[in-house]
Amino acid sequence: MLTYSYNILPQTTQSVAMLLDTNFTHTITTLGWDKAFFLVDENVLQLHASYFLDKRVVSIKSGEAAKDIHYVMSLMETLLSLRMQRSDLLIGVGGGVVSDITGFLGATYKRGVAFAFFPTTLLAMVDAAIGGKNGINIGTYKNMMGTISQPTHILYDYSFLSSLPQNEWVNGFAEIIKHACIRDVNMFDELSQNNVAFYQKNMKSLKQLIAKNVSIKSDIISQDVNETGIRKLLNFGHTLAHAIEKHYNLDHGKAVSIGMYYDALLSHKINGFQYHGRIQQLLQQYHLPTHFECDFATLMPYIANDKKNHSDATIDYIFLEAIGIGKVVSTNIKKIETLIQSI
């Protein structure tokens, strides 16, 4: 089965094509390790069981709850009980939840082991598996504890998408639209002319779209691994999204969609950005929500505690100047809160 392994270490954005065997044996040897431990999303494990026969597999419960610090610590203990050594490879197979857990454990287990991602959701293929910024949750605070550490490889096998539920396809397009909004007007136009069903039917176009998104994100990461500047652009829509996602238990992709539309409206109010209507239309075309009935006052403490705050008063917020051009602006938190509540 032909798949791709993108080597996206900060110093290179070169992609490397590799022939992977269906049960990973040669792959692991090719990657340079004798022994690997797999952290596998429970649904993926059930749906693709033959991949993991005779492997050292730890099943990860499905969903955001798996990123809770206590559950992640229990996985750390499981790896210890399985006697995973520092010289072994950890491979996370699943969506963004598993890649975040794997990156966090990989960076911290025995002070760090090599790890690789095998993304199986569209969202993880285009976003979560790239960049090596991996967080876990503390109570209702999302990604509040985390690491920035790069995977040795990211392995792509598009055949896994055949079992992906429709809802998760939709979630994946939220991060694709985010990349288009902040960085690529041509991709925004391409997306406007198509829809989810088109990409599901046209594997060639889908692979090109995934490759384009890998390249947009890895280009940004390679310029700013530690998120001191341009990498912050990737947070477009995410401040409000993280608050909605945790407080109201909404899927990450849908929360990001709502967050992006609100940030487009804020860009209009603060910057005079004119195209919030086009963004709303594109999100809806991909079956993504743009509004959410909730009490925004309940979300304000999350914004006040956001990781992008650099004082009690200011936050690095992402606005759009045009479609395809995002910018990071240090903004008064109270001003953001007031504007969000007035929308």
Residues recognised as catalytic: 111, 133, 175, 217, 227, 231, 235, 238, 242, 252
Q: Which of 244, 246, 281 has its CA nearest to residue 261?
A: 281
Select from 49-57, 79-87, 91-99, 194-202 the region that touches ligand NAD (CB under 6 A): 91-99
Residue with smaller CB distance to ligand NAD, 179 or 276: 179
Instruction: Give the Cα separation of 219 and 179 in Å (integer).
Output: 12
Residue with smaller CB distance to ligand NAD, 143 or 150: 143
**47 counts as binding ligand NAD under rule CB under 6 A:** yes
Instruction: Give the Cα separation of 265 and 251 in Å (integer).
Output: 22
**97 counts as binding ligand NAD under rule CB under 6 A:** yes
Instruction: Give the Cα separation of 260 and 283 in Å (integer).
Output: 9
Select from 43-51, 108-116, 224-232, 323-331 the region that touches ligand NAD (CB under 6 A): 43-51
**87 counts as binding ligand NAD under rule CB under 6 A:** no
Q: For the packed helices 276-285 and 185-192, what is the interaxial angle rounded to 10 degrees?
A: 50
Please, which residues have CB within 8 angstroms of residue 219's CB and are 6 or more apart in sequence?
A: 13
Select from 157-165, 199-207, 279-287, 311-319 the region that touches ligand NAD (CB under 6 A): 157-165
**131 counts as binding ligand NAD under rule CB under 6 A:** yes
- Pick from 253, 259, 324, 326: which binds ligand NAD (CB under 6 A)? 253
Q: Is 6 helix (H, G, I), strand (E, B) or coil?
A: strand
**94 counts as binding ligand NAD under rule CB under 6 A:** yes
3-state secondary structure 229-265: CHHHHHHCCHHHHHHHHHHHCCCHHHHHHHHHHHHHH
**267 counts as binding ligand NAD under rule CB under 6 A:** no
CB of 129 to ligand NAD, least distance (A): 8
Total residues at interface with ligand NAD (CB under 6 A): 32
User: From the CB of residue 270, how many other CB atoms can be counted at a distance below 10 Å?
Assistant: 16
The residue whose Cβ lies closest to ligand NAD is 96
- Pick from 36, 45, 124, 283: which binds ligand NAD (CB under 6 A)? 124
**120 counts as binding ligand NAD under rule CB under 6 A:** yes
Cβ–Cβ < 8 Å for 182, 233:
yes
- Pick from 88, 127, 157, 184: which binds ligand NAD (CB under 6 A)? 127
Amino acid at 90: L
Tokens 């392995």: give the residue.
Answer: 155
CB of 131 to ligand NAD, least distance (A): 5
Instruction: Give the Cα separation of 306 and 296 in Å (integer).
Output: 15
Question: Exposed, middle or buried, 268 (CB in 10 Å: 0-12/13-18/19+)?
Answer: middle
Residue with smaller CB distance to ligand NAD, 250 or 275: 250
Q: For the packed helices 252-271 and 166-183, what is the interaxial angle rounded to 10 degrees?
A: 30
Residue with smaller CB distance to ligand NAD, 29 or 305: 305
**164 counts as binding ligand NAD under rule CB under 6 A:** yes
**63 counts as binding ligand NAD under rule CB under 6 A:** yes
Instruction: Give the Cα separation of 33 and 26 in Å (integer).
Output: 10
CB of 121 to ligand NAD, least distance (A): 3
Tokens 């995410």: give the residue.
Answer: 238
Residues numbered 188-247 forming contacts with ligand NAD, rule: CB under 6 A:
none
- Pick from 5, 102, 134, 280: which binds ligand NAD (CB under 6 A)? 134
Pairing of strands 141-148, 325-332: unpaired
User: From the CB of residue 197, how many other CB atoms can be counted at a distance below 10 Å?
Assistant: 10
Residue 101 DSSP symbol: H
The binding site for ligand NAD (CB under 6 A) comprises 41, 43-44, 47, 62-64, 67, 94-98, 100, 120-121, 123-124, 127-128, 131, 133-134, 143, 160, 163-165, 168, 171, 252-253
